[in-house]
Chain A
Amino acid sequence: MTSILRVRALRKEFAVHERPPGVAAALRSMLHREYKKIIAVDGIDLDIQPGERVGFLGPNGAGKTTALKIFSGLLHPTSGEVLVDGHEPRRREDAFLKKIMLVLGQKQQLLWDLPPSETFELNRAVYDVPRAQYEATMRELTALLGLEDLVKRPSRTLSLGERMKCELAAALVHRPRVLFLDEPTIGLDVSMQATVRDFVKRYNEQHGATLLLTSHYMEDVAQLCPRVIVIDRGAILYDGALGDLVTRIRPDRRIVLRFSRPVAESDLAALATVVRHSAGESVLQVPKEAVNAVVGRALANLPVSDLTVQSPPLEEVMSELFARNRPRAATGEAPP
């Protein structure tokens, strides 16, 4: 199958002005500016197939947003090749722009003082969406996102979550085949995050759109993305299934125990490493191969009322992956 996003040896450098604090340094910088080269994306390769949902993960400053902006044509690569459905993004041809959309959680395209319906109508016109298709799309988006009461109120009066729902609807008026989502759930409450996630997943399933998502909320990634690409300091650390990443980085398991009466921490420490302990609930960390034995001993010796076995939280997996990469990055060693 032909990749819908093909990236080869992509590199992006920025020259950033630097100066020490103080008046003298400020005056010196008026005459002579010093620039430091920052490598935001460092020779990455990747292929994404049509209809895939891919999580693009990394710490702040890893190069995720820079990469998304390159894929959508807003930034030009320093070197390397990017093709989105056969188009070179930096050329920003109409045919390309009509196939993609970039949603930035912290930037908006809604017209601030007008109701979202005006932005939808504007996008219908500029993307040349046939009226019948537009009306069908809006009916669908209105139903899925619950926009009925929102679209006639000025955007500035909407809450953050309401605005994000309308941003998503505005982004999808032309039914893009490739959707780049940069932190679409940032600042939203848990229930709104779930609404946005469900909607994005349904859009992907119904329209076969390709999805590349960045998010600091691991739940977004866990729920939406069978495949993840982890990037740090501009380089790809991992590209594959989310489950495999967890198994590779943190093969241990978490056993969550709930008790019918209080248990001393020392009794639990005899079984395994105690991650968290309170009167009614404790969490143990055990090697994968020891799970059965520890569960058996816990059930036999402790007043267990409920027990679940889980993978470590994704946040911890990612932290460990980045922590492991730091010394390797310093020595130039290959990522884990």
Chain B
Amino acid sequence: MSLRNTARALPTLLRVGLAEAVAYRAEMFVWVLATTMPLVMLALWTAVAREGGGGALGRYGQSGFTAYFLSAFIVRQLTGCWAFYEMNVDVRQGTLGMRLLRPVHPLAAYTVENIAAVPMRALVSLPAALVALAVLQPRGLTRDPALWALWTASLLGAWSITLFVNLAVGCSAFFIEQSLKLMDLWLVLYFVLSGYTIPIDLFSPRVQSLVDWLPFRYQLGFPVAIMTGALGRQEAAALLIRQWAWVAATAGVTAVLWRRGIARFGAHGG
């Protein structure tokens, strides 16, 4: 299954993936609603700051929380991925076989399907977030072009980690029957440690230094921190290297699980 074949088929794969995303419009809307947690957390943390913190918590005031959670919402929309679910169904029901019969690598196909859904998600969610940003005018967003360049790389890194974790969990369906539970476990950790529900810098310094070594922050909190100007250029660049090390690690784990899983699939059938 050559890369050349996949590259040649890429425009059609993207177009069909987009058509599927559009076909699932009701599900897409529900998915967008399900990812509005940052907006809920915005209301919650703003209230906490107003009632208990004299209007601010740490470096976050009203505008700071607004900038943070709207940024988190945007990053979540652009990096979300549910490939694990589809892979799980394909492996357990044997429909992976139909993908294996095509001269395009199934992991490439899952990836392209995920990319194809991004414009639809962006179309639904980004206008709302951008209008909110314009109306609320949070002053916390960075204006440094170099940081925006680093943000772009960090967004790609965040998407890559999320994708590879999804594919790795999807591959676990080759070995265990309840692989979806693995993603539940991952999501619990993600919700707490990625900055999705609690800004990382509200944790104690000890927890923060632990979080720096875990992958969750690099899935969301890191790009958000760049967006909101919480990181300087040098610090952002250093963390970017750490993020891409996680990209490489999760890609490596996915590759190993896929190779072993597909050998098992070939031995046991689907």
Contact = CB atoms under 8 A, between A and B. Distances in A.
B177 to A, nearest CB: 11
B59 interface: no
Interface string A84-111: 0000001010100110111010011101
Nearest to B24: A113
Given A92-B1, A113-B23, A121 B269 contact: no
B12 A125 contact: yes
A107 B269 CA distance: 14
Contacts of A107: 93-95, 97-98
A321 to B, nearest CB: 26
Nearest to A90: B266
Contacts of A69: 97, 269
A128 B101 contact: no
B23 A154 contact: yes
A66 B266 CA distance: 11
A122 B123 CA distance: 24
A122 B268 contact: no
A73 B100 contact: yes
A124 B1 contact: no
B269 A66 contact: yes
Nearest to B268: A14
B103 A97 contact: yes
A126 interface: yes
A205 B182 CA distance: 51
Contacts of A49: none
Interface in B253-270: 263, 265-270
Interface stretch (B13-21, B42-50, B196-204): B13-21
Contacts of B208: none
A238 interface: no
Tell me which of A66, A113, A123 has the highest count of chain B C-beta atoms within 10 A of its own C-beta: A113
B9 interface: yes
A114 B23 contact: yes
B209 interface: no
A126 B105 CA distance: 10
Contact of B5 (A73, A94, A122, A123): A94
Given A102-B101, A107-B95, A128-B8, A76 B19 contact: no
Given A92-B1, A123-B102, A128-B8, A74 B97 contact: yes
A214 interface: no
A108 B24 CA distance: 19
A109 B19 CA distance: 16
B2 interface: yes
Given A14-B268, A73-B100, A97-B101, A121 B12 contact: yes
Interface in A133-155: 154
Given A107-B95, A128-B9, A74 B20 contact: no
Nearest to B267: A76
B104 interface: yes
A92 B263 CA distance: 12
Nearest to B12: A125
Contacts of A108: 95, 98
A75 B23 contact: no
A154 B102 CA distance: 22
B95 A74 contact: no
Contacts of B263: 76
Contacts of B98: 104, 107-109
A127 interface: yes
A148 B13 CA distance: 24
Nearest to A14: B268
A69 B100 CA distance: 11
B20 A94 contact: no
A97 B95 CA distance: 16
B1 A94 contact: yes
A252 interface: no
Given A66-B269, A94-B5, A154-B23, A122 B12 contact: yes
A76 B102 CA distance: 17
B23 A76 contact: no
A126 B9 contact: yes
Interface string A209-237: 00000000000000000000000000000
Given A94-B2, A113-B20, 12 more contacts: A72-B101, A74-B270, A75-B269, A107-B95, A108-B95, A111-B16, A114-B19, A114-B20, A123-B102, A125-B8, A126-B102, A127-B103
Interface of A: 14-15, 66, 69, 72-76, 90, 92, 94, 97-98, 100-102, 104, 107-109, 111, 113-114, 118, 121-128, 154
User: Closest 10 CB pairs between A and B?
Assistant: A125-B12, A76-B266, A125-B9, A113-B23, A109-B98, A94-B103, A97-B103, A126-B9, A126-B104, A74-B97
24 contacts: A14-B268, A15-B268, A69-B97, A69-B269, A72-B101, A73-B101, A74-B101, A75-B266, A76-B267, A94-B1, A94-B2, A102-B101, A107-B93, A107-B94, A107-B97, A109-B98, A111-B20, A114-B19, A114-B23, A122-B16, A123-B102, A125-B11, A126-B13, A127-B102
